[in-house]
A and B are shown apart, each in its own frame.
Chain A
Amino acid sequence: MATNTPDEQMTGPAVSVPSIPVEEIVSICQTYGNDRHRMLDILRDVQDRFRWISPKVMETVASQTCLSRIEVEGVASFYSFLSQTPKGRVTIRLCDDIIDRFAGLAAIAEAFEEELGIKVGETSPDESFSLEYTPCIGMCDQAPAAMVNDVVVTKLTPDLARQWAQSLKAGKSPEEIVSDRFADLSPHARATAQVDNNIRHAGAVLLGPVPDDAGLKTALGLTPVQIMDMIEASGLRGCGGAGFTTGRKWKFAAAEKAEKHFVLCNADEGEPGTFKDRVLLTERPHLLVEGMTIAARAVGAREGIIYLRGEYVYLRDLIEEVLADRRARGLLGEAILGVEGFDFDLRVQMGAGAYICGEEGALISSCEGLPGEPKTRPPFPVNRGYLGYPTVVNNVETFCHAARILDRGAQWFFDMGEEGSHGTKLFSVSGDCLNPGLYEFPYGLTINELLEMVGGEDAAAVQVGGPSGTMIARDSFHRRLTFDDLATGGAIIVFSGERNVLEIVEYYMSFFVHESCGYCTPCRVGNVFLQKAIGKFRKGLANPEDIDYLKDLSGTIIETSRCGLGMTSPNPILTTLKNFPLVYSAMVKPSKDGIRATFDIQSAIDGARHLAKRRSYIYDEDFSK
């Protein structure tokens, strides 16, 4: 079989699927040492270069990595950014979050569809464009947003969408459209040219002035145990949502006797409405790596990974530059800052569009080159994590806090916030408010105070912590943002009285249906049933008993799911049932004399009337009278 060079494929006639040269695939595999644990990198590279992962490619990759083809296919079919059909040279992914929908996504989609001549979900026949929807890409403060290949476009309007489509059709690359001299910009300037930081309030810990590597220098003078004692004494808890005490997590990992330890950073913030890590990665990347280096010293790790969500690929160069810079300055690598035996280096692992990879077990699976499925616990990652070694997985914000605690001391951090929730927290605020963006405040703020700050006093509902969190109504706005009251990984989504609560809930359920990894039945099937049931409520077809059905089914899903996704996915329903009971009771139709008012015989037989071209003896008046 003749093999084409990629160039020929690009310009060649678009009649058939171009063949992908085997030697190119072999060489990509070799770049990663034919290591099966780097499967996601291999497949991402193939996808970037050839725009799909063909059956032939899977065979080649399988033989290179000594796996079976089906194992490779398992990975290729798991991640939404990997495709088993050819994608266009430019793939436009419209962010389909509820915030984007409320901000006019439909008109944006229509504009792209018109200009490109394809519908959402299609690839143009000449393979120039693919248009699709993707869940939240972390730009809720500047919605509607989209990804154009690796470039992010925000604050879209139909006009802007048309301009982009026209420029792309005229042959401009997405990067050129962002800036004529894109290549000359620094990675940081490239990132900020695409995405605004929208820092609205800087707190004392993260977004205020931060000295370079002060925490790391302190750490060098301390023993690992002293570092961990300090972190524990500060009261720092994980900022990704679960809120586990960071110091204890590190101690568990350090106590585990093993050849190697790993430090992983979870930069896969996929929870709709969360974008705090995006800003930290843009503005405080050094602080993050500093925090990871401190963690590495504490637990005795020599290697680390930053797991960066696929949607944040535009930040990859920036992070790589930071890593290179730190290596050059002796802050990463061997004998860090001249301390013999203190070796630590890390790599960036790109994700590929899977919300579930924010779950630490799934994140580890993904780093290991497997489908991003959660692992059975126990063993916990601190005991047996990445490749079976003790592993610390922390959120971006947690590592940044850790570095600051080393610099300023445990007491300084402990004194901020409240009992049980110490320090500051980043809140990513979006939705119906005047000033969406990032706010850093000590724990303990009430929702009312926050709403006043963000210009969202008209709010009728606030979603705290994203879909897996809690939706509260006005009667709960006095509640406080702490671990013990309203816990949040950072997302605060404001909804005005004009929004339909059930529409929001239905969207969130569709999100969980899409993002369930499918491993366990309660989550894979149960969420579909919940989504359908909410659909019935929206159409006014729900019986009063359906409310109990929602509660029962939710309880089953929470109790029997394997990981945190299923344990929290019914939350949009449960918290709205609790806090907005009238929304549901207004939509149910009680039966009359035992006959369901929700069953409409007229619409049920209407299709048959037309097919049979006659009327009903029983239910049409002219016959039955």
Chain B
Amino acid sequence: MAELRKARIATASLAGCFGCHMAILDIDERLMELMKLVEVDRSPLTDIKRFTKRCDIGIIEGGCCNEENVHVLRDFRRNCDVLISIGQCAIMGGLPAMRNAIMHSDAPLRECLEEAYITGRYIRNTTHDIPNDPALPLLLDEVYPCSDVVEIDYQIPGCAPTGDVIYETLAGLLAGKFHGFDRMHIKFD
């Protein structure tokens, strides 16, 4: 009998800090066991930039702050059977979504960029320019959680989630018996 094919996993970091990807590595030596069950397709961990095949599980870190994030996220949705948001930024917008708090302004995006690059007290920007290279993706009007842009199947909360909860979720999903989180793993206070 042919060996069962390995499950394919893809990951991406959108508007996040890569902390959740570091947390994936916190699985530590259990990675060896996991790698017996899976192969990693498109991911910063493998440096594969495009999907080579359809994947079983997609893991998304970070929310959407620019058009490229939206593009990548939609690409993941189209190419993954199960899509998981991992970490606070992907689930709620997280730290980048602080800019959504600029509400009482006619041009919140302009105000945000000006403070970040020109008027902020601790800014040293000798050119007084806001970066605008044609290669830079356009920013969205605000930062969106992933679930606003595509349907998300599972969310692993945390900033970042622990290696344990990530491992258990993946192991559970792969074994077809994921029944939610152990309370201690998602209790943060």
Contacts and interface: CB of A to CB of B under 8 A. Distances in A.
Nearest to B80: A594
Contact of B140 (A604, A613, A617): A604
Contact of A595 (B74, B107, B113, B139): B74
B109 A601 contact: no
Nearest to A598: B148
Interface string A592-614: 01111011010111111101111
A593 B139 CA distance: 25
A594 B77 contact: yes
B115 interface: no
B57 to A, nearest CB: 14
Nearest to A619: B67
Interface in B63-91: 66-68, 70-71, 74, 77-78, 83
A165 to B, nearest CB: 29
Given A596-B151, A618-B71, A608 B139 contact: yes
B128 to A, nearest CB: 15
Contacts of B150: 591, 594-596
B151 A612 contact: no
B141 A608 contact: yes
Contacts of A601: 67, 70
B134 A614 contact: yes
A593 B74 CA distance: 10
B138 A612 contact: yes
Contacts of B142: 604
A3 to B, nearest CB: 38
A611 to B, nearest CB: 6
Nearest to B148: A599
A611 B113 contact: yes
B3 to A, nearest CB: 30
A611 B108 CA distance: 11
Size range of the chain A interface in the assembly: 20 to 34
A616 B139 CA distance: 10
Interface in B132-165: 132, 134, 136-142, 144, 148-151
Contacts of B140: 604-605, 608
B6 interface: no
B90 to A, nearest CB: 15
A609 B137 CA distance: 10
A50 to B, nearest CB: 30
B110 interface: yes
B149 A599 contact: yes
A616 to B, nearest CB: 5
Interface string A187-228: 000000000000000000000000000000000000000000
Contact of B141 (A593, A603, A614, A618): A603
Given A611-B109, A611-B110, A591 B151 contact: yes
Contacts of A596: 148-151
Contacts of B83: 594
Interface string A577-593: 00000000000000101
A607 B141 contact: yes
B130 to A, nearest CB: 8
A595 B109 CA distance: 25
Contacts of A599: 70, 144, 148-149
B141 A616 contact: no
Contacts of A607: 107, 109-110, 141
A609 B77 CA distance: 26
A593 B67 contact: no
A291 B104 CA distance: 52
A594 B81 CA distance: 10
A619 B68 CA distance: 10
Nearest to B142: A604
B115 to A, nearest CB: 14
Contact of B109 (A608, A614, A618): A608
Nearest to B132: A612
Interface in B43-67: 66-67
Nearest to B72: A618
B141 A606 contact: yes
A341 to B, nearest CB: 60
Please provide the 7 A-B residue pairs with the shortest distance between their CB atoms, ordered closest to farther: A608-B138, A604-B140, A594-B151, A608-B139, A594-B77, A605-B138, A599-B149
Interface of B: 66-68, 70-71, 74, 77-78, 83, 107, 109-110, 113, 130, 132, 134, 136-142, 144, 148-151
Given A608-B138, A611-B107, 8 more contacts: A595-B150, A596-B151, A599-B148, A599-B149, A601-B70, A604-B142, A617-B134, A618-B67
26 contacts: A594-B77, A594-B78, A594-B83, A595-B77, A595-B151, A596-B150, A596-B151, A598-B148, A599-B144, A599-B149, A601-B70, A604-B67, A604-B142, A605-B67, A605-B138, A605-B139, A605-B140, A607-B141, A608-B66, A608-B138, A608-B140, A609-B138, A612-B138, A617-B134, A617-B137, A618-B137
